[in-house]
C-alpha cells in the first residue's frame, strides 16, 4: 500500500514538473501554431541562473531558494520574449521557418551552456527540508515533490484566472480560436504572441529551477530531456489546450512511474506507446480541437 | 458625391493563387454599396484584400489616405468595421467578451447595439458558440456597430438565415447606414434591392459593371448575364 501511494504521489509530482514546461508549449502552439523547440533552452537557462544566484547567497536557506525561483522565472520570461522579438516575429506566419529557428536555437543554446558551465552536471544544494521526506499513509515522499505540486497548482490557477478575467487573456483565448478575426477587430495580435512567449518562458524558467532540485543537479541538457516528455504531454493533452496539458501531465507521469516501478523500468517506452495509442484513437489529443 | 473608399488595381492572392485580379471601384461616403456577382468570383476575397487579410497589391484609399500598406489591425483602427462571411464569432467566449474584445473607443455605442439586438442583452453571459446562426450574426454585426466607424465591410450577413432573421439583419443594416457607409456583399437580391443605393458587379475577379443598384437590378438581361439569375420584381418594389 505504501509503495502504491509513493509511486502515485511521485508520479503526480513529476507530472507537475511536466506541466510547468508543457503549459507554455501548449499556449504558444495554440495561439501561434509554433512548436517551440527552444523551450528546453529557456528552462535550462532559468536553472543555471537560479543556481548562480542561490550559490552566491546561502543556498541552503529558504530565501535563497525563493530568490532563485524568482530569478529563474524572470530569466525565462526575458529570454523567451527576446526570442519572440528577434527570431520568431521576423518570420511572421512562416510556421516551418519559425519551428526551424527554434530548433537551431535549442542546439546553439546547449553548446553555449556547455561552453560556460561545462558538460558535467553541477550538483546543487537546497534548504534542508527539501531533502527530507514526509510520511503519507506509510509512504515517505521526498519534499521536493510537494514543492513541485504547489508550484504547478499555483501556475494553473494563475493561468486560468489570467485567461478568464483579463483583457489580454480574452485576446489569447480568442486568438487560439481565430487569430485573423482578432486582428480584424483592430487588435495587434503580436502583442499577445510576445505575452504567451514571456508567460511560457517564465513557467519554464521556474520549472528549470525546480527541475534542478528534482534531479539534484543542473546541466546543459536538463531542458532537452524534459522537453521530450513535455511535447508528448502536450500532444496527448491536445495541442493548444491548457486543461488538456494539465490532465495529460499527471496521467503520463503517473503511468511512467508505475511502469518504472512495476514493469521493470519501462516507463519511457510505455509513455511513447501511450502517445501512439492516443494519436491513433484521438489524433487531436484528449481535449484538443481538430485542426487541418 | 464624395467617396470614402477608393480601390485601384487591387490584386489579391491566397497561397499564390490569384483570387482578385485588378479590381477598381469607389464607395460613396453615404448609403450602402452592394458587391454583386456569382459564387466564387472573388467578392469575399476583395473585402479581405482591402483589409489585408490576404496577400494584396494595388492602391486602397480610405478618405483619401493610403491604407494598402498597413497591417490589418491598423486598417481597422482607422475606422473600418468588418463583419465577415460566416460570422466568425469566438464560440468559446461569451457574447459580452466578444463585444468587449471589439471595443476600440472609450465610449462604445452600447445603447445602439442593445436597441438593435435586444436578443443579445439577456444572453450576455452565454457562450457565443451556443447561439443560433441568427444570434451569432447579431453578435458579429454588434462587434462592428459598437464602434464609430468610417466604413463597414459586411460580407453576406443574411447567408443561411431564416426569413424573419433576414429582415431583422436588414433592419439593422439600414439603421446603421444612416450614419456610416457600408460596402455589402450580398447574394439575397431582395435584401440588395431594399438596402443598396449603388452596386458593383464582379465577375472572374474583375469589376465588370458599376452603377445605381436599382438600375442594375432593373435590367433583367444584365442581371441574368452577370449574376446568372432571373430577377423577378420584388413584391415591395424597388426603392
Domain CATH code at residue B216: 3.40.50.300
Chain-chain contact of B100 with A170 (C-beta, under 8 angstroms): yes
Residue among A213, A196, A225, A226 at smallest CA distance from A69: A213
pLDDT of residue A117: 94
Q: Is B174 inside a domain boundary?
A: yes
The answer to whether residue A289 is domain-embedded is no
Of A162, A144, A142, nearest to A23 by C-alpha is A162
Dihedral over alpha carbons A232, A236, A238, A240 (to 10 degrees): -20
Q: What proportion of chain A, given as a percentage, has pLDDT over 70?
A: 99
Contact by Cβ (8 Å): A198, A81: yes
Residue A95: its pLDDT value, please?
86
Helix (H) or strand (E) holding B217: helix B213-218
Instruction: Report the range of poorest mean pLDDT among A82-86, A107-111, A235-239.
Output: A235-239
Q: Is residue A291 one of the residues assigned to a domain? A: no
Q: How many CA atoms lie within 13 A of A3 on its CB side?
A: 4
**Residue A292 scores a pLDDT above 50:** no
Locate A268 and state its grid cell: 519511457
Specify if A199 maps to a domain: yes
Asked if residue A61 has pLDDT above 60, the reply is yes
Q: Is A10 domain-assigned?
A: yes
Distance from CA of A92 to the nearest CA of B (A): 12
Min Cα distance B32 → chain A (Å) is 21
Tell whether A188 lies on the interface with B, counting CB pairs under 8 A. Answer: yes
Which residues span the domain enclosing B146? Answer: 3-227
**Number of domains present in the structure of chain B:** 1
Specify whether the CB–CB gap between B165 and B134 falls below 8 A.
yes
Give the residue from B84, B101, B153 with the most A CB atoms within 10 Å of its CB, the best one to mutate: B101
Task: Answer whether residue B45 is part of any domain.
Answer: yes
- Look at residue A196 and tell me whether its pLDDT is greater than 90: yes
> What's the rounded Cα separation, in Å, for the pair B134 and B139?
9
In whole angstroms, what is the distance from residue B69 CA to residue B85 CA? 24
- Report the alpha-carbon distance of residue B82 to residue B142 in Å, rounded: 10
User: Would you call B212 helix, strand, or coil by DSSP?
Assistant: strand
Residue B68 in any domain: the answer is yes
Whether A47 is covered by a domain: the verdict is yes
Calculate mean pLDDT across residues A214-239: 92
Cβ neighbours of A111 (radius 10 Å): 11
Judged by a CB distance cut-off of 8 A, whether residue A178 touches chain B is yes
Rounded to two decimals, the ipTM of the complex is: 0.90
Q: What are the two backbone dihedrals, phi and then psi, of residue B27, each rounded to the nearest 5 degrees?
A: -120, 120
Q: Give the domain range for residue A41.
A: 2-281
In the predicted structure, residue A291 carries a pLDDT above the cut 50: no
Give dist(CA A19, CA A14) in Å, integer. Answer: 9
Return the SS3 of B37: coil
- Yes or no, beta carbons of A186 and B84 under 8 Å apart: no
Question: Does residue A155 belong to any structural domain of this protein?
Answer: yes
The nearest alpha carbon in chain A to B55 belongs to A93
Mean pLDDT, residues A222-239 taken together = 92
Taking chain B (239 residues) in runs of 10, the rounded mean pLDDT of each run is 91 91 93 92 94 95 95 96 95 95 93 92 94 94 96 95 92 94 94 94 87 88 76 44
- Chain B residues within 8 A of A189 when measuring between CB atoms: 73
Q: Compute the nearest-CA separation of B113 from chain A (Å).
A: 16
Separation CA A70–CA B182 (nearest Å):
52
At A265-279, the pLDDT tens digits run: 888 999 999 999 999
Q: Determine whether the interchain pair B92/A189 forms a contact, defined as Cβ–Cβ distance below 8 Å.
A: no
Task: Give me the total of CB pairs closer than 8 Å, taking one residue from chain A and one from chain B.
Answer: 55
CB A85 within 8 A of CB A198: no
**Record: contact B77-A186, CB cut-off 8 A:** yes
Give a yes or no: residue B72 inside a domain: yes
**Residue B238 located in a structural domain:** no
Residue of chain A whose Cα is closest to the Cα of B146: A185
In-domain check, residue A287: no
Residue holding cell 443598384?
B213
Residue B236 lies in a domain: no
Report if residue B108 sits inside a domain: yes
pLDDT confidence of residue A94? 86
Do residue A173 and residue B91 have CB atoms under 8 angstroms apart?
A: no
What are the residue ranges of helices labelled H in chain A? Answer: 2-32, 39-56, 62-83, 95-117, 143-165, 167-177, 179-183, 189-215, 222-237, 242-262, 267-281
| Mean of pLDDT over chain A | 92
The per-residue pLDDT for A290 is: 47
β-bridge mates for residue A141, sequence order: A134
Per-residue confidence (pLDDT) for residue A289, from 0 to 100: 65
What pLDDT score does B1 carry? 62
Q: What is the pTM of this model?
A: 0.87
Is residue B128 one of the residues assigned to a domain? yes
Per-residue model confidence (pLDDT) at position B205: 79
Per-residue pLDDT reduced to its tens digit, A14-44? 999 999 999 999 999 988 888 999 999 999 9
Least confident segment among A88-92, A253-257, B143-147: A88-92
Task: State whether A171 and B101 contact (CB < 8 Å).
Answer: yes
How many structural domains comprise chain A?
Answer: 1
Question: Chain B: residue nearest A178 by CA?
Answer: B90
Question: A121: domain CATH number?
Answer: 1.10.3470
Q: Which residue of A has its CA nearest to B81?
A: A185
Rounded to whole angstroms, the Cα distance separating B164 from A248 reads: 47
Contact (CB<8Å) A174/B102: no
Amino acid at each position: 500500500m505504501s509503495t502504491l501511494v509513493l509511486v502515485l504521489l511521485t508520479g503526480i509530482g513529476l507530472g507537475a514538473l511536466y506541466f510547468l514546461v508543457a503549459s507554455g508549449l501548449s499556449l504558444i502552439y495554440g495561439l501561434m501554431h509554433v512548436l517551440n523547440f527552444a523551450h528546453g533552452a529557456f528552462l535550462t537557462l532559468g536553472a543555471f541562473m537560479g543556481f548562480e544566484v542561490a550559490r552566491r547567497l546561502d543556498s541552503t536557506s529558504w530565501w535563497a531558494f525563493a530568490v532563485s525561483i524568482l530569478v529563474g522565472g524572470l530569466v525565462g520570461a526575458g529570454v523567451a520574449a527576446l526570442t519572440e522579438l528577434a527570431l520568431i516575429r521576423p518570420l511572421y506566419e512562416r510556421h516551418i521557418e519559425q519551428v526551424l529557428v527554434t530548433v537551431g536555437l535549442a542546439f546553439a543554446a546547449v553548446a553555449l551552456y556547455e561552453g560556460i558551465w561545462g558538460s558535467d552536471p553541477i550538483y546543487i544544494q537546497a534548504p534542508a527540508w527539501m531533502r527530507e521526506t514526509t510520511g503519507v499513509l506509510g509512504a515517505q515522499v521526498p519534499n521536493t515533490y510537494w514543492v513541485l505540486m504547489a508550484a504547478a497548482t499555483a501556475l494553473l490557477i494563475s493561468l486560468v484566472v489570467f485567461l478568464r478575467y483579463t483583457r489580454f487573456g480574452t485576446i489569447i483565448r480568442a486568438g487560439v480560436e481565430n487569430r485573423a478575426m482578432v486582428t480584424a477587430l483592430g487588435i495587434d495580435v503580436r502583442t499577445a504572441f510576445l505575452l504567451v512567449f514571456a508567460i511560457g518562458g517564465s513557467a519554464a524558467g521556474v520549472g528549470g529551477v525546480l527541475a534542478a532540485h528534482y534531479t539534484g543537479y543542473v546541466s546543459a541538457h536538463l531542458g532537452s530531456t524534459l522537453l521530450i516528455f513535455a511535447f508528448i504531454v502536450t500532444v496527448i493533452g491536445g495541442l493548444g489546450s491548457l486543461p488538456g496539458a494539465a490532465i495529460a501531465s499527471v496521467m503520463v507521469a503517473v503511468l511512467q512511474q508505475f511502469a518504472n516501478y512495476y514493469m521493470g523500468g519501462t516507463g519511457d517506452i510505455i509513455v511513447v506507446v501511450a502517445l501512439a495509442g492516443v494519436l491513433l484513437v484521438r489524433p487531436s489529443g484528449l481535449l484538443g480541437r481538430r485542426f487541418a | 458625391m464624395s467617396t470614402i473608399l477608393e480601390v485601384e488595381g487591387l490584386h489579391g492572392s491566397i497561397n499564390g493563387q490569384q483570387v482578385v485580379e485588378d479590381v477598381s471601384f469607389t464607395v460613396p461616403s453615404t448609403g450602402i454599396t452592394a458587391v454583386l456577382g456569382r459564387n466564387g468570383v472573388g467578392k469575399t476575397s476583395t473585402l479581405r484584400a482591402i483589409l489585408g487579410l490576404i496577400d494584396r497589391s494595388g492602391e486602397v484609399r480610405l478618405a483619401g489616405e493610403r491604407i494598402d500598406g498597413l497591417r490589418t489591425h491598423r486598417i481597422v483602427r482607422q475606422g473600418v468595421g468588418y463583419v465577415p462571411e460566416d460570422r466568425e464569432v469566438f464560440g468559446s467566449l461569451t457574447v459580452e467578451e466578444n463585444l468587449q474584445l471589439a471595443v476600440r473607443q472609450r465610449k462604445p455605442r452600447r445603447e445602439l447595439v442593445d436597441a438593435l439586438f435586444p436578443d443579445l442583452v439577456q444572453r450576455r453571459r452565454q457562450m457565443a458558440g451556443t447561439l443560433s446562426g441568427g444570434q451569432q450574426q447579431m453578435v458579429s454585426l454588434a462587434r462592428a456597430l459598437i464602434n464609430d466607424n468610417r466604413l463597414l465591410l459586411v460580407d453576406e450577413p443574411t447567408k443561411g438565415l431564416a426569413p424573419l432573421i433576414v429582415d431583422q439583419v436588414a433592419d439593422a443594416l439600414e439603421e446603421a447606414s444612416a450614419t456610416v457607409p457600408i460596402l455589402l456583399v450580398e447574394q439575397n437580391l431582395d435584401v440588395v434591392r431594399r438596402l443598396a443605393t449603388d452596386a458593383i458587379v464582379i465577375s472572374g475577379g474583375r469589376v465588370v459593371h458599376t452603377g445605381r443598384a436599382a438600375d442594375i437590378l432593373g435590367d433583367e438581361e444584365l442581371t441574368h448575364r452577370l449574376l446568372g439569375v432571373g430577377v423577378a420584381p420584388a413584391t415591395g418594389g424597388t426603392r
